[in-house]
Amino acid sequence: MDRFWNPVHTIVGDGAAAETANVLRQMGAQGKNVLLLVWNNALLEREGFAGLLANQDFKVTPYCFQASNPTVGQLFETYRQTRELRPAAVVAVGGGSILDVGKSLCCLYGADISSEEELRAAIREKTLPSPAARWIGIPTTAGTGSEVTCWATIWDPDKNAKLSVESKENYAYAALVDPSLAAGMPVSLAVSSGLDAVAHAVESYWAKASNTVSKGLALRAVDIIMKDMDRLTDGCPDAHLSMAQGSMLAGMAFSNTKTTACHSISYPLTMRYNIPHGAAVSMLLAPVMSLNAPMIEDLPALLRALGLDSLDEVGPRVRELLKKAGLPSSLREWGIKEEDLPELAGLGMTKGRADNNPHELNEQIILEILRSIY
């Protein structure tokens, strides 16, 4: 039986962020504390957010969180500094990192956590309570789809681990997807986040957990993004709308299916070598697609959505896009030593991702995949 569920209201288009006050009213947040989490203080001067700060209907407190790939320590510090507010709503404005922090805070506010160690244990042992606040996601990158998923990635570099704060009760109340927030973004960031979204959609399409609805969303996401990728690398501002739409659709697709081998194998590449997440997953697309090919339903439809005629074209197309964005496209160029590959292969089996890949994965297969993109 096919089942699909995603409860997030979505508003997409230029100016969507200006809907924040209306959405907060729909949520019943009048007279209550609202935490406005932003990736950059300059955002607070933009019309929509300046208006929100001045709005007497809500008690809005701004908080700037600038780090990328948030760690347990950074999440604990943000919780410590904001917990007294007991906000009824968190408005998170930023890339996946900020959305994931805002999303996690909603679960943390219902708990009494006094140290980073306690937080680490609660995330690992999945003992965080139900969310005590609702959140609104306003993405400023088009890639992660975090605005429509119910899990948040929190990194634990000291322990070489990627943790996940997840709760089916913690979907955003609404996603306000406003491509004008991406204006002026460096092309390298736009391309690496766009390729992350492509990987979400492609992996969702072939995931063991895929279903009719998620497959439809995934194909459409790949098509919308790939059709406008060249215009994005050429710096056309209106390409951000396609990226925003496609990234959200990809997020919807993988919110129900999770990702597979590309994401699983990519995590140690990002943790150990700081390879941007989107660049890491996209380099893995071609070898993983070749591995999975016999098990992919209607492979020609997936290739068509990618704008390609054959499997052999996937690797060169990804490399071409990374190159246009000024990003390396092989593990060697990212500074990885060949003798480190076996250890990276050993770290590439992530539970819930590796076992969701249609083709079986093991360390030897992962090592061959890593060698093929060295």
Ligand X SMILES: NC(=O)c1ccc[n+]([C@@H]2O[C@H](COP(=O)([O-])OP(=O)(O)OC[C@H]3O[C@@H](n4cnc5c(N)ncnc54)[C@H](O)[C@@H]3O)[C@@H](O)[C@H]2O)c1
**Distance (Å) of CA 47 to CA 42, 184, 185:** 11, 17, 19
Confirm or reject binding of residue 265 to ligand X (CB under 6 A): no
Selected range binding ligand X among 9-17, 63-71, 226-234, 303-311, rule: CB under 6 A: 63-71
Helices 187-206 + 314-324 axis angle, to 10: 160
Q: Which residue among 116, 147, 196, 203 contacts Fe ion (CB under 5 A)? A: 196
Closest by Cα among 103, 106, 57 to 85: 106
Residue 39 binding: pick among ligand X, Fe ion, none (C-beta 5-8 Å cut-off by kind): ligand X
Rank residues 147 and 196 by Cβ distance to Fe ion and give the closer one. 196
> x-or-dash pattern for ligand X, window 7-46, by CB under 6 A?
--------------------------------x-------
Confirm or reject binding of residue 277 to ligand X (CB under 6 A): yes
Helices 261-273 + 187-206 axis angle, to 10: 150
Query: In what helix (H) or strand (E) does residue 1 lie, and over which residues does it extend?
Result: none
Name residue 34's amino acid. V
Rank residues 116 and 196 by Cβ distance to Fe ion and give the closer one. 196
Confirm or reject binding of residue 95 to ligand X (CB under 6 A): yes
Spatial separation of the C-alpha atoms in residues 240 and 298, rounded to whole Å: 29
Q: How far is the CB of 259 from Fe ion (least distance, A)?
A: 7
Alpha-carbon torsion, ordered 185, 189, 192, 195, to 10 deg: -20
Q: Which residue among 48, 102, 131, 143 contacts ligand X (CB under 6 A)? A: 143
Spatial separation of the C-alpha atoms in residues 82 and 80, rounded to whole Å: 6
Q: How far is the CB of 166 from ligand X (least distance, A)?
A: 9
Residue 152 binding: pick among ligand X, Fe ion, none (C-beta 5-8 Å cut-off by kind): ligand X
Selected range binding Fe ion among 80-88, 112-120, 193-201, 230-238, rule: CB under 5 A: 193-201
- Count of residues in contact with ligand X, rule CB under 6 A: 27
Residue 182 binding: pick among Fe ion, ligand X, none (C-beta 5-8 Å cut-off by kind): ligand X
Rank residues 35 and 303 by Cβ distance to ligand X and give the closer one. 35
Alpha helices in the chain (DSSP H): 20-26, 47-54, 72-82, 96-108, 116-124, 187-206, 212-233, 239-257, 261-273, 277-292, 299-306, 314-324, 341-346, 363-372
Which residues from 164-183 bind ligand X, rule CB under 6 A?
181-182
Binding site for ligand X (CB under 6 A): 39, 66, 68-69, 94-98, 100, 140-141, 143-146, 149, 151-153, 181-182, 185, 189, 193, 196, 277
